[in-house]
Structure 1
Amino acid sequence: MNLALQQGYGVVSKSGFTPGFDGVDGSLREFRVGSVKVTSTARQCVLRVSDRGGLRRRVGGKESGGVEGGRCSSSRPRSVTARASLLQGLGGSLKEGYVLKNHGIVDETTEVESTGDVIEKLKKGFKHFKDTQYNQKPDLYAKLAEGQEPKVMMITCADSRVCPTMLHGLEAGEAFIVRNVANLVPPCEGSGEHHGTSAAIEFAVTVLQVERIVVMGHSNCGGIKALMSRDTYSGDFVGSWIRIGLPAKKKTLSLFSGKPFQEQCTFCEQEAVNVSLANLLTFPFIEERVKTGKLHIYGMHYDFIEGQLTSWEIEREEVPIHA
């Protein structure tokens, strides 16, 4: 095992333990990568990596079943098996001078310190989820292990006060969610730049075959405030992104000129959603599906000050044909 990997996983020596793994109920659970021993609380089994790379499971002093393709012959020690495969080379893409630290598996058996640290809170939150959701809904999570079939895609703001799953009572697997600054959708364009939102839209529509797309804005949006208050939109990542909403700003200033800034922002928050809906229709695979009724697009605005949700739908206007 190379030095970077040893440092990255906190391996002090070839017989050292990896931090974050300790025994429970008085028993040590371990597996070896070469001659390096790692303990885990994840499952009551022992995994050993042989010199030829074969991974075998030992329970109660007896070896049983080989492991192929990262899968253990028993479905229970899955986490430990994954841990063994991750130890070999994980973190090799990091910039020189950086290593992984405190890499450990968290499940309902893991002891988490109460230090008030936000990472510890996240770990405790996962333990609670594992115990009260994952373990209580085995059929749901077994189905999700096979793949996802969401019916709706939601494009919302990255604002920490906006949580789509909590707001709308969504189960895991029900919605394909993308979050970005000011819930903006760029127009379809073929440049060679990175387009995370556009890639997600393409995947959701053409691969997952979602039937609904919802773009949801919200009150007191920092991205919209930046859009309304700026004069230049170059020189930084935020500016180059929020200029997608410039048509909304133009419309806002034409209708609310002289009005208080907050009123302008409130209107622009919703009109920026409409700009995003219009940009959705610039994607050929979206417009085609909207025309045939296979896809519907919606706008929403969440006001967390008043506790209100405004919702609307975009549809094609029927143009009368005159004889």
Structure 2
Amino acid sequence: MTENVSQELSTLLDGYRRFRHTGWTPHRERWSKLRKGQQPETMVIACSDSRVDPAQIFDVDPGEIFVVRNVAALVPPFETTPGLHGVSAALEFAVQVLKVKEIVVMGHGMCGGCKAALTQEMHGTRPGEGGFIADWIGLLDDARAPIAERLGTESREAEREMEHAGVRVSLQNLRTFPCIQQGERDGSLKLRGAFFAISDGVLHLMDEGTGEFSPCT
């Protein structure tokens, strides 16, 4: 190893060495099975925020969940316009190739992407200077309007409403994909909304009928 390794990389390498000792070596049989492929039954769509790692929150082993993470855990609606559709590609792979049985959209507290969607602080910026973020969280514009009108854009209550709304928007957009529509029709696929509160570490599940979130017991 070269001497000019950064402190940041050094921290990661220390973690890798711990993983080799406690996570890989004692479980070689499990890792050997994963060489043959993956068969996760659940897909989790979560935020890129470093505080909300789905594997840690759900305490799962490698191979158990298929994870997509992006700013604010958003899913764009189904579209066929030219472009690079990363989330859509992951959904196709999870549903049509891996045959997952459940998709969980997990929002979280203190989400910077949802806060930016609420305050529109990135609005009008150019790509490379915040414009990519602004375009992405623009997916929440329609959901933002009634929240901003009722609660304003500065309170923690408004931010929490925006975070919950983000989950509902992603679930709504998921249901525009033909493969997901088919899975729900034939009962092979279930969609679920969830929310992890960073402040107290409690997971909340969304009631499909009311759209409200309740603590998981």
- Given the two structures, how large is their TM-score scaled by the length of structure 2? 0.87
Kindly, what percent of the aligned residue pairs are identical?
A: 37
**Aligned pairs for 1:11-30 within 5 A:** 20=1
Structure that is richer in helix per residue: 2
**Aligned pairs for 1:30-49 within 5 A:** none
How many correspondences in the alignment? 203
Q: Does 1:169 align with 2:59?
A: yes
Aligned position for 1:45: none
Aligned position for 2:161: 267
Unaligned runs of 5+ in 2: 210-217
Evaluate the alpha carbon distance shift between residue 313 and residue 172 of structure 1 in structure 2; reply closer, same or farther with a 3 A threshold: farther
Counterpart CA distance in 1 for 2:21 and 2:86 is: 33
Counterpart CA distance in 1 for 2:124 and 2:53 is: 28
Q: Which has the higher contact order (CA 8 A, sep 6+)?
A: 2
Aligned position for 1:43: none
Q: CA deviation at 1:233?
A: 5.6
Q: Does 1:223 align with 2:117?
A: no
Aligned position for 2:147: 252
Paired residue for 2:33, among 122, 143, 155? Answer: 143
CA contact (8 A) 1:228 1:265 kept: yes
Counterpart CA distance in 1 for 2:207 and 2:33 is: 31
Paired residue for 1:238, among 124, 130, 133? Answer: 133
Evaluate the alpha carbon distance shift between residue 303 and residue 233 of structure 1 in structure 2; reply closer, same or farther with a 3 A threshold: farther
CA contact (8 A) 1:274 1:299 kept: yes
Bigger CA radius of gyration:
1
Counterpart CA distance in 2 for 1:259 and 1:169 is: 35
Q: CA deviation at 1:128?
A: 1.1
Counterpart CA distance in 1 for 2:154 and 2:78 is: 34
Q: CA deviation at 1:259?
A: 7.8
Q: CA deviation at 1:195?
A: 1.2
> What do you get for the CA RMSD once the two structures are aligned?
1.9
Q: 1:224 is aligned with what amino acid?
A: C
CA contact (8 A) 2:39 2:98 kept: yes
Q: Does 1:304 align with 2:169?
A: no
- Given the two structures, how large is their TM-score scaled by the length of structure 1? 0.59
Q: CA deviation at 1:307?
A: 2.2
